């Protein structure tokens, strides 16, 4: 193996190990999800489409310019454009033209469409922001769930380790005849239950990792892991705010209301656009055309020897015939192409007025539809305001209840720990049977798990309140 191949192999292995050992922080997860989520990518395409629609609105102010050209062959019995006679021949013609049209006045529809396209672009950007916020909140919830499952697994493993030590001690006491053999069997049953709880905790952790990995659209979820040392900070001060102040702040910052307000403004513009079709329109037009033929042309005349003269009338009174000489045309090659284009050019320009009188109620019906859409948008805005008030009050109440539950769980854990230590002392001196001791131990495990559950529930509930208060889930770098 050459030196270059060895270096490449070591570099590849190093990159794989780095990828496997990467610990994802909450910032990593949120930024990755926002960048790679399919719904967000689709919303970004909506913004691109809104930009294109805005270009369309700008383009409506510009004239329409179209050029045309054609070349044709006429084969068979055709009129000779030189002699005027019908002949079996093949002729060719070339035509070229330029048409220009521009709206001079169209009821201000173009101006209104431009304003609407600006509003639509803003609304699309709000939609993208809303989707990013929702994805970020879902990622944060999944991230905290993994943290909870990690700590819960540690609790179960610690308890399993303690019970294995207790099993060895009880086995020694049974052999020494200090405790009955039934206590040993109870301890073994408890140890088996601990194994089941550890397996359940491991499975819950794996599933939570899988859920977040799928949310991030990662393929290698088995090697996916988060940085358990990067726990989001708990902001207890947010609950010092009143629900009214949080609601007021939410109405100023929440994207849902901005989307609803933009939709209302768009609906208002739609009414104005629909009414613009009641007004007359004035347009200007200009056209230029030219043509060329490939048939022979008359280049001169010579006397007609077969019929030198022809009568054109009689002299009044004498009835004498009036004769004129007959000439035959002399045909030559067609005129040069560009000379024909120059000689045959023509122009046409003017203005056109169109006044709508009756169009089967279509304009009136479109105005009525736009008014209905406007009223629906007003109702949606009012509903969004009510939803914000309800959601903020619910989130605020849930956060305060989660705080109280967490504090109560901590108090319970302290009491259960004291109770367990007292039971342990009594069990070790033979003043408590193994069943009661296992009960005290189970209550302690449940209390520890409840503290973890309420802790992360409290953390997530405060994050939701911060979310409504306008505090981002992750600080911008």
H helix runs in 25-79, sequence order:
26-36, 38-59
pLDDT given at position 428:
74
Helix (H, G, I), strand (E, B) or coil at 290: strand
Residue 200 shares a structural domain with residue 315: no
Residue 123 shares a structural domain with residue 30: yes
Phi and psi torsions of 388, nearest 5° = -60, -45
Is residue 44 situated within a structural domain? yes
In this predicted model, what pLDDT tens digit does every residue of 352-383 receive, in sequence order?
999 998 888 889 999 999 999 999 999 999 99
pLDDT given at position 11:
44
Q: Let me know if 177 is exposed, middle or buried by CB neighbors in 10 A (0-12, 13-18, 19+).
A: exposed
Is residue 99 situated within a structural domain? no
Residue 325 shares a structural domain with residue 274: no
Residue 54, CA atoms < 13 Å, CB-side half-sphere = 15
Q: Look up residue 63 and give its DSSP letter.
A: P
pTM of the predicted model as reported, rounded to 2 decimal places = 0.75
Return the ∠ at Cα 408 (arms to 403 and 414), rounded to 5°: 130
Residue 366, CA atoms < 13 Å, CB-side half-sphere = 14
In this predicted model, what pLDDT tens digit does every residue of 284-299 receive, in sequence order?
999 999 988 877 666 6
DSSP string computed for 77-89: EEE-TTT--EEEE
pLDDT given at position 304:
77
CA distance to 77, 83, 91, 149, 309, per residue, from 86 (Å): 6, 9, 12, 98, 24
Is residue 310 situated within a structural domain? yes
Residue 34 shares a structural domain with residue 155: yes
Give CA–CA dist 219/69, Å, rounded.
Answer: 57
Residue 327 shares a structural domain with residue 450: no
pLDDT given at position 17:
41
Is residue 200 situated within a structural domain? yes
Closest to 169 (Cα-Cα) out of 430, 431, 421: 430
What CATH number should be reported for the domain holding residue 428? 1.20.1600.10
Provide the domain limits for residue 320.
301-332
pLDDT given at position 405:
93
Tokens of 399: 């956060």
In this predicted model, what pLDDT tens digit does every residue of 44-71 receive, in sequence order?
999 999 999 999 999 999 999 999 999 8
pLDDT given at position 21:
64
Q: Look up residue 470 and give its DSSP letter.
A: T
Q: Give the total number of structural domains in the chain.
A: 2
Q: Are strands 297-303 and 327-332 parallel, antiparallel or unpaired?
A: antiparallel
Give CA–CA dist 56/298, Å, rounded.
Answer: 52
Give CA–CA dist 149/140, Å, rounded.
Answer: 14
Give CA–CA dist 50/120, Å, rounded.
Answer: 6
Is residue 285 situated within a structural domain? no
CA distance to 47, 123, 277, per residue, from 118 (Å): 11, 9, 21
H helix runs in 321-428, sequence order:
337-343, 362-428
Tokens of 460: 């997530």
Residues 6+ apart with CB under 8 A from 185: none
Is residue 351 situated within a structural domain? no
Residue 263 shares a structural domain with residue 320: no
Residue 312 shares a structural domain with residue 195: no
Tokens 């770098």 locate to 477
How many residues in the chain?
A: 477
Closest to 455 (Cα-Cα) out of 6, 151, 110: 151
- Contact in structure between 271 and 131 (CB atoms under 8 Å): no
Residue 410 shares a structural domain with residue 311: no
CA distance to 185, 194, 213, 424, 431, per residue, from 191 (Å): 10, 5, 33, 16, 22
Residue percentage of the chain with pLDDT more than 70: 90
Give CA–CA dist 19/296, Å, rounded.
Answer: 82
Residue 314 shares a structural domain with residue 433: no
Mean pLDDT by runs of 10 across the 477 residues of the chain is: 44 43 86 88 92 92 93 75 65 89 90 93 93 90 89 84 77 71 76 85 91 86 81 80 89 91 95 92 93 72 77 75 75 75 88 89 92 95 94 92 93 92 83 79 87 90 88 69
- Contact in structure between 207 and 150 (CB atoms under 8 Å): no
Residue 174, CA atoms < 13 Å, CB-side half-sphere = 16
DSSP string computed for 298-352: EEEEEE-SSS-EEEEEE-TTT-PEEEEE-EEEEEEPPPPHHHHHHHT-EEEEEEE
Q: Look up residue 236 and give its DSSP letter.
A: G
pLDDT given at position 82:
56
Tokens 């004239």 locate to 63
Residue 129 shares a structural domain with residue 171: yes
Q: For 304-328, b where at least 16 C-beta lie within 10 A, e where not — what string?
A: eeeeeeeeeeeeeeeeeeeeeeeee
Residue 50 shares a structural domain with residue 118: yes
Closest to 374 (Cα-Cα) out of 287, 269, 249: 269
Residue 438 shares a structural domain with residue 322: no
Is residue 267 situated within a structural domain? yes
Is residue 247 situated within a structural domain? yes
């Amino acid at each position: 193996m050459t030196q270059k191949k060895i270096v490449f192999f070591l570099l590849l292995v190093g990159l794989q190990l780095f990828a496997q050992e990467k610990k994802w922080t909450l910032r990593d997860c949120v930024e990755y999800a926002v960048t790679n989520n399919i719904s967000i990518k689709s919303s970004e395409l909506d913004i691109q489409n809104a930009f294109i629609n805005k270009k369309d609105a700008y383009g409506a102010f510009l004239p329409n310019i179209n050029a045309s050209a054609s070349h044709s062959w006429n084969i068979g019995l055709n009129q000779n454009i030189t002699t005027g006679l019908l002949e079996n021949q093949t002729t060719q013609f070339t035509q070229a033209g330029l048409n220009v049209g521009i709206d001079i006045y169209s009821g201000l529809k173009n101006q209104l469409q431009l304003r609407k396209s600006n509003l639509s672009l803003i609304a699309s950007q709000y939609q993208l922001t809303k989707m990013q916020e929702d994805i970020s909140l879902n990622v944060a919830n999944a991230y905290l769930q993994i943290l909870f499952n990690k700590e819960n697994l540690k609790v179960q493993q610690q308890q399993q380790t303690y019970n294995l030590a207790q099993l060895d001690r009880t086995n020694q006491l049974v052999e020494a005849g200090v405790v009955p053999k039934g206590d040993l069997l109870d301890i073994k049953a408890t140890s088996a239950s601990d194994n089941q709880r550890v397996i359940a905790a491991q499975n819950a952790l794996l599933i939570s990792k899988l859920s977040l990995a799928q949310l991030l659209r990662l393929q290698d979820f088995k090697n996916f892991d988060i940085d358990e040392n990067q726990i989001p900070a708990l902001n207890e001060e947010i609950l010092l705010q009143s629900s009214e102040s949080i609601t007021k702040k939410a109405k100023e910052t929440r994207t849902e209301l901005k989307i609803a307000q933009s939709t209302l403004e768009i609906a208002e513009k739609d009414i104005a656009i629909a009414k613009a079709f009641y007004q007359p329109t004035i347009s200007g037009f200009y056209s230029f055309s030219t043509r060329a033929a490939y048939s022979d042309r008359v280049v001169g005349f010579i006397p007609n020897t077969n019929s030198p003269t022809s009568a054109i009338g009689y002299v009044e009174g004498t009835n004498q015939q009036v004769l004129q000489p007959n000439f035959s045309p002399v045909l030559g090659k067609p005129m040069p192409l560009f000379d024909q284009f120059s000689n045959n050019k023509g122009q046409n320009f003017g203005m056109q007025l169109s006044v709508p009188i009756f169009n089967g109620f279509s304009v009136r019906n479109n105005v009525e539809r736009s008014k209905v859409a406007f009223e629906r948008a007003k109702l949606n805005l009012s509903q969004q305001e009510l939803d914000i008030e309800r959601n903020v009050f619910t989130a605020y109440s849930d956060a305060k209840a989660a705080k109280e539950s967490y504090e109560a769980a901590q108090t319970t854990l302290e009491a259960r720990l004291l109770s367990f230590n007292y039971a342990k002392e009594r069990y070790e001196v033979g003043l408590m049977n193994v069943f009661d001791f296992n009960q005290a131990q189970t209550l302690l495990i449940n209390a520890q798990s409840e503290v973890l559950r309420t802790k992360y529930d409290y953390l997530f509930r405060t994050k939701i309140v911060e979310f409504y208060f306008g505090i981002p889930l992750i600080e911008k770098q």
